[in-house]
Every structure is written in C-alpha cells, then in structure tokens.
Amino acid sequence: MVKIIKVTAGVIVDKGKVLITRRAPEDRLAGGWEFPGGKIEANETPEECLVRELKEELNINVSVDQFCTEVSHSDGDRQINLMAFYCTILDGEIQISVHDKFKWIPVNDLLKYDLLPADVLIAKKVIEEFNA
C-alpha cells in the first residue's frame, strides 16, 4: 500500500535570489537540493507547518504570502504531495540544523542544481513566474 505524505515547501525569493537547502549525508535522498519545509502534522494547516518547519530547521520567522504550486511525486512506496508557498523572512538569521548547506542562488539558476524530483517541478513554476 502506498503511503501518502503531505509536505510543504517555502519559496523564499529576495532580490532575484532564492533560498535552497541541501539534504545532509544521513538523510534519505542525501545531497539533493530542495526548497526548505517539512511534513504537515495532524491538526496543522500547510501554512502553520511551514512557519513551524522554517523556524525549527533554519531559525527564521516567516510570513506565508501566497500559494505557488502543488506537485505529487511517487517515491517507491510513498507518494509525496508537496504544497509550495512564497514566503518572506520576517526576522532571524539562517542557522541550519537538519541540512548540511544552504545557498541563495539566482532564480534562473535553479535547474543547474541537483534538485529533488518534486522540487524540480516547483523550480520550473518559480522560474516561469519570475520571468513573466
């Protein structure tokens, strides 16, 4: 039976650059780049999840501004339903706790990185909207 996992991702764009994070060596899909976020917990909205996850993982407080896109990706016995939202950093300085790296990169360079499969689809949408 396929397990469905609901996840959020924060697309944080500032001055034409977007924040991506890299999975740590001990993680599933280690070394893959992604938009930061995480699993939605019971009784939590996607927006609440994103605020919580970005605080826990990156030590930043964000506002969730608008919906970006939703993608589904099959990962063997799991189906990942990923909702991406544009976010703005309100305060805090990025300190990674579960990733091994973070980068601010030009939006148009997103597809030059080894993004996780679901994040590739988000990146294409972000590039399209950024260049519209």
pLDDT, tens digit, 9 for 90 and up, residues 75-108: 778 888 999 999 999 999 999 999 999 999 999 9
Residue 79 burial (CB < 10 Å; 0-12/13-18/19+)?
middle
Q: In whole angstroms, how large is the CA radius of gyration of the chain?
A: 14
User: CA-to-CA distance for 32 and 119, rounded, in angstroms?
Assistant: 10
What residues are paired with 84 via a beta bridge? 9, 69
Q: How far, in Å, are 3, 35, 50, 89, 93 from residue 41 at the CA level?
A: 15, 18, 11, 22, 25
pLDDT of amino acid 27 = 80
Is the predicted pLDDT of residue 73 greater than 90, yes or no? no
pLDDT of residue 23: 92
What's residue 127's pLDDT? 97
- Which residue did the predictor score with more confidence, 127 or 132? 127
Q: What is the dihedral of CA 132, 106, 40, 3, to 10 degrees?
A: 90
pLDDT digits (tens, 9 = 90+) for 117-127: 889 999 999 99
Superfamily the domain 3-130 falls into: Nucleoside Triphosphate Pyrophosphohydrolase (3.90.79.10)
With cut-offs at 50, 70 and 90, classify the pLDDT of residue 74. confident
